[in-house]
Amino acid sequence: MTVYLVGAGPGDPGLLTVRGASLLAEADVVVYDRLSVVALLDAAPASAERINVGKQPGRPSTTQDDINSLLVERGRRGQSVVRLKGGDPFVFARGGEEARALAAAGVPYEVVPGITSAVAAPAYAGIPLTLRHSSTSFTVVTGHEDPDKGGELDWGAVARLGGTIVVLMGVGRIDRIVDRLVAGGLSPDTPAAAVIWGTRPNQRTVRTTLGGLPTADLASPATIVIGRVAAMDLDWFESRPLFGTTVVVTRARAQASELVSRLRLEGADTLEVPAIRIEDPPDGGAALASAVERLREGHYDWTVVTSPNGARRLLGALRDGRDVRSRLAAIGPGTADVLAAGNLVPDLVPERFVAESLLEAFPRPPGGGGPEGGGGPEGGGGPAGGGGKVLVARAEVARDVLPDGLRAAGWEVDVVAAYRTVAEPLDPAMLDAVATADVVTFTSSSTVDRFVEAVGVDRVPPVVAAIGPVTAATARRHGLTVDVEAEEHTIEGLVAAVASTMAARR
Ligand code: SAH
């Protein structure tokens, strides 16, 4: 089968091409090195073999010949091989050598271009590489020439071109590069900028002049831009509200993506620490199955789902929407969204997304049940004879506010455990990373419990953010100070609250 030389882009996972992503999703083998984005590896099937050919501490580095042979050998085995390369595979990346080796061995290969850091890093620093009338060319050069090649780049010619100069791999030899360009006639006052770790959450842009580059605070990897445009600062990336902030996301892995992507849109670096995993309830779902059986027979007036997980489990237990022969209540929009994905529209979503608010909004039972009897909104056409019945599908361990309140109002309540949350073990590297993060977000009490259990109160990041009052109260019970409590108890509301708190602190 084919070996694909795929450009991974400069670091922001969103800059992988659509074609690159779809090849990655079907790869048997992914060959990567340090510059390719490790986050992208998650896009490959879990079963795919991942081979790191980058420099690793304590191990001899893989030579280019070894990499070429590996690609040839895997290609011959008939595997679909994705060779991920940082930026573009044919820009200072030895992709040409790999393609040549594959061609010589008769192994089919394809090239998927990537967004090169030469273009992306300046864009993320707000520096346009060309500008009408003033900067009409850009030249991309390597600052790290192959000593065996003989004959140095004609820096004088590059200087005389008068356009924008983009230097990759230039940090180590910046003194010599500056000397050559000045010798070539470029003024030391020419604007210059170095974009370090461009497009990543830790991007840093150093703005200086050509003459200032040798003493500037540079680090690798950097894309260095020299020319009039380097004085431009059309920044949009480093000025986002959560830029430079590392936020821990504690949701179960399967559910973290919306929170992660919203935080990233605000500029945050995110650290996924899946403190909990969602599993079958202890009875394997038997109670839920028999409750659904009763639901199908019209036994219940209302079905109440109190979390997206509960909604997912309920949907999983149904044959289709016709099984829900009752009215349906969801605790909040996240739960309602999951139901909507199964074509179920809740009849009731309370104003505030907590159990107390759901109780307030809940109608009285039919047939005059309840201590105050009758009245209130209509109870809904359940079986005659009063004493309406409610099915509550929720986590194995949960607060009893809702069932207790419903019973007090005269409802007969069946509570079934639709799922349970179990602790997900965390590795030591993850724990270290948590200790240096700025913010931790909690979307449920169970994540607070498991996270504090796994990490220890002392290592919880300094800013604690909770989706709502119940989660916040749980955090306080663990001795944490809650700095951010979302006004709207949704993922969106949580991210907005974190962004405004962190912006105010800057
Ligand atoms: N094929 C890659 C370049 C590989 S050479 C591409 O097209 O981008 C490695 C050099 O690329 C680094 O020394 C640095 O100059 C540049 N580079 C790679 N990633 C970068 C990043 N995130 N920010 C700035 N420069 C980067």
Q: Which two tokens stand for residue 422?
A: 């179990």
Confidence of residue 358 (pLDDT cuts 50, 70, 90): very high
pLDDT tens digits for range 138-164 = 999 999 876 566 668 899 999 999 999
Instruction: Quickly state the pLDDT bin for 379 (edges 50, 70, 90).
Output: very low
| Burial class of 251 by CB neighbour count within 10 A (0 to 12, 13 to 18, 19+) | buried
Q: How far is the centre of ligand 1, averaged over its atoms, from the C-alpha of 435 (Å)? A: 29
pLDDT confidence of residue 179: 96
Read off the pLDDT of residues 444-466 as tens digits, 9 standing for 90 and up. 888 999 899 889 999 999 999 99
Q: Is the pLDDT of residue 380 over 60?
A: no
Tokens of 429: 């590297």
**How wide is the angle at C-alpha 149 spanned by C-alphas 144 and 152, nearest 5°?**
60
The yes-or-no verdict on residue 197 having pLDDT over 50 is yes
Q: Kindly give the number of the ligand 1 atom that is closest to the alpha carbon of 115.
A: 7
Say if residue 144 is exposed, middle or buried (CB neighbours under 10 Å; 0-12, 13-18, 19+). middle
- When pLDDT is averaged across residues 284-306 and rounded to a whole number, the result is 95
On the question of a cis peptide bond just before residue 60, with omega within 30 degrees of 0, the verdict is no
Q: How far is the CA of 198 from the centre of ligand 1 (A)?
A: 8
Q: Which of 169, 269, 337, 430 is catalytic?
A: 169
Closest CA to 205 of 283, 296, 126: 126
pTM higher than 0.95 for the full model?
A: no
State which ligand 1 atom lies nearest to the alpha carbon of 118: 8
Share of the chain above pLDDT 90, in %: 75
Say which of 12, 33, 438, 449 is annotated catalytic. 33
Asked if 232 is an active-site residue, the reply is no
pLDDT of 372 strictly over 70: no
Using 50, 70 and 90 to split pLDDT, how confident is the model at 423?
A: confident
237-248 average pLDDT score: 94
Mean pLDDT in residue range 116-133? 97
Query: Between these two residues, 386 and 14, which has the higher pLDDT value?
Result: 14
Residue 242 DSSP label: T
C-beta of residue 245 within 8 angstroms of C-beta of residue 502: yes
Ligand 1: residues with CB < 6 A are: 10-11, 35, 85-88, 91-93, 116-118, 121, 168-169, 195, 197-200, 220-223
User: What does the pLDDT read at residue 385?
Assistant: 45
Distance of CA 212 to the CA centre of its chain: 37
Helix (H) or strand (E) holding 201: none
Least confident range from 235-244, 274-283, 456-465: namely: 274-283
* pLDDT reading at 384 higher than 80: no
Helix/strand/coil for 371? coil
User: Do β-strands 81-86 and 269-272 pair in parallel, antiparallel, or remain unpaired?
Assistant: unpaired
Tell me if residue 33 is catalytic: yes
Question: What is the model's pLDDT at position 376?
Answer: 43
Tell me the average pLDDT across 254-268: 88
What would the two tokens of residue 456 be?
Answer: 């220890």
Name the pLDDT band for 280 (thresholds 50, 70, 90): very high
When mean pLDDT is compared over 195-199, 367-371, 383-387, the highest value belongs to 195-199
By DSSP bridging, strand 164-168 and strand 204-209 are: unpaired
What pLDDT score does 354 carry? Answer: 86
Separation of CA 227 and ligand 1 centre (Å): 19
